[in-house]
Amino acid sequence: MQDPEFKELTEIQSAFRKPWMGIIWFVIVMVVFIFVGVPIQMYFLKADQGMVGLAVTEVIILILAIVPILLSGRKFRDVFAFKAPALRPFFGALLMWAGAFSIVIFANALIAYLFPQQMSEVSEGIGGFFTNVPFIVAIFVFAVMPAICEEALHRGFIQSTMRSIRFDWVIVLIMGFIFGVFHLDPVRFLGTAILGAVLSYVMVKTRNIFYPSFLHMINNAIPVILMYTLLQPATQDNAVYADQVLTTSGISTSQMIGSMLMLSCLSPILLIGGAMLIKSKAAGETAEAGAAQRRKRIKAIIAAIVLSATLFVAGLVTLVAGVFLSVPVNVNEKIELSQSSDPREYSFVIEAERPYQYTYNIESDKGLVLIEFLDESDVKVLDFYCKQSFGNGILALKPGTYRLIVTLIPADAEAFLEGKGYEYNDDGGSEIVFPSDENEKVGVQITFMCI
C-alpha cells in the first residue's frame, strides 16, 4: 500500500497529485502526440531521417513530463525519486523484466501469426527509423532517450498522481493500460501494456525510477542490437524480412503456440522470484509477521512452479499435437509394384500457402523407383529416382491439390527415364538387380511427409 508524504499545497497544486489529474494529463499528452509528434515523425521519415523525428518526439514527451510538475510546485526529487541501485532489487528487477519479456515475445508472436499483414506494416514502419543511422545513434535515440523521457512521464509524473490509490495492483493495471495506449499501436498494445505494468510494479515497490528506466533501456536496446548484428545492413526491408521469418516459418498455429508456451514456461518463476527480491523487509517487523511472510513466499513459490510446469506440459502437448494433426502430406507404407502395373498415386490437399518441411525415405527391393511430387498443374515440385534414398528439405507450397506418384522403372531404365525427360545416371548400375519380367512384384517401402 502507498504511504505518500503530503505537504500543505494550494488547491491547484493539490489537484496535480490526484489520479484523475494524471488521467487528464495523459489525454492532453496523447492529443499533443497525435497532432504534433506524429506529423513531426512522418515529416522526418519522408526525408529518410526517422531517428531525428523520433528524438524530437522524445524531447516533447520529456517537456510534457516536466510542465505539470512545475505547475504543481512539487519538487523534482519527489516525483523522480532516484537513489543509487542496490544489488538485491536490481537483480529482482532484471528477473521480472526477463519474465515479462518472454510473455511479450509469446504475445507478439501469436499476434504476428494471426495478423501477419498488420505486424508486417509495424515492422516496416519501425525499420524506416534505422535507415543510414550509426549504431550508437540508434541506441541513444531508440533506447536511452525513451528510458529517460517516457519514464519521466509514465513512472514519473503520471504514476506519482496515483499514490493515493489504496491497492498497488490497481496502480499497476492502470499504468500498464496507459502505457499500451500511449504507443498508438493496436498490434503491439498487449506487449507494451505488459511491459508497462511490470515497470510500474517495480517503481511502486522500489520507489526508485532508476530501475524502470534501466529496464526500459535494456528492453529497447535488444531489437536495435539484433537489427544491427543479425540483419545487417539495418534497413526497412530487413525489418519486413524478420517479420516474414516469424510469420511464414513453415509451422502450424498449434506448433507455434506450443513452442511459445514452452519458451515462456519460466515466466511465472522469474516474475514471482523477482518480486520477492524487490520487496524489502518492513522496518520493525515482528517474528510472527516475518513467519507469516515466509509462509506467503513459500505458497507463491509453489504456485509459480506449478504454473510453470503447467505451461511447459501444455506447450509440449500442443506442440506434439500440432506435429501429428497438421500433416497434410503423409505416406508411410510398403507397397508392391510391377513394370506392367500402373504407378501408385496419392492425392493431397494443401490449404495454406507457406513453406513446408518435407522428409522422405524410399527403399525398393529390386530395381529403381521414380518419385514425382506434382501440383495441380502437373508441374514437378520434387522429383528423383533411386533404389534407396532418404532426405529432407523445404518446399514452398501454394493452396491446391498435389499428387505423389511412385513408378517402378523397367529394366531399360535409360530409355524409360530419357522418355520422361530425365538424364540417366548409371553410377552403381551394375549392382542394381531389375525384375526378371514385367509382372514380377517388387516391394517398395515409401515414407513421404510434409509438415
For 279-288, what is the mean pLDDT?
Answer: 64
In a domain, 80, yes or no: yes
In a domain, 153, yes or no: yes
Q: Which residue has the cell 499476434?
A: 111
pLDDT by residue (tens digit) across 372-388? 999 999 999 999 999 89
Q: Is the pLDDT of residue 12 over 70?
A: no
In a domain, 69, yes or no: yes
pLDDT by residue (tens digit) across 297-318? 889 899 999 999 999 998 888 8
One domain, residues 30 and 161:
yes
In this structure, are residues 97 and 218 in contact, taking their beta carbons and an 8 Å threshold? yes
In a domain, 442, yes or no: yes
One domain, residues 215 and 357:
no
C-alpha cell at 324: 501429428
Q: How many CB atoms lie within 10 A of CB 271?
A: 22
One domain, residues 233 and 336:
no
One domain, residues 19 and 115:
yes
Q: Point out the domain boundary residue: 249, 271, 301.
A: 249
In a domain, 270, yes or no: no
CA separation for the pair 367, 327 (Å, rounded): 30
For 381-400, what is the mean pLDDT?
Answer: 90
The whole-number pLDDT of residue 259 equals 82
Q: Across all residues in the chain, what is the average pLDDT?
A: 84
CA separation for the pair 404, 378 (Å, rounded): 11
Helices within 326-431 (DSSP H only): 413-419
Q: Point out the domain boundary residue: 230, 249, 268.
A: 249
Burial class (CB in 10 A: 0-12, 13-18, 19+), 149: buried
Q: Point out the domain boundary residue: 207, 230, 249.
A: 249
In a domain, 444, yes or no: yes
CA separation for the pair 326, 351 (Å, rounded): 11
Considering its fold, how many domains does the chain have in total? 2
In a domain, 33, yes or no: yes
pLDDT by residue (tens digit) across 311-352? 999 888 888 776 666 678 889 999 999 988 889 999 999 988
CA separation for the pair 12, 4 (Å, rounded): 18
One domain, residues 343 and 217:
no
Between 143 and 129, whose confidence is greater? 143
Q: Containing domain of residue 124, as a range?
A: 11-249
One domain, residues 135 and 226:
yes
The whole-number pLDDT of residue 430 equals 56
CA separation for the pair 255, 335 (Å, rounded): 31
The whole-number pLDDT of residue 10 equals 58
Percent of all residues in the chain with a pLDDT value above 70, rounded to a whole number: 83
One domain, residues 242 and 349:
no
Backbone conformation region of residue 428, classed left if phi is above 0, alpha if psi is from -120 to 50, else beta: left
- What residues contact residue 407 under an 8 Å CB cut-off, 6+ apart? 337, 343, 344, 369, 370, 372
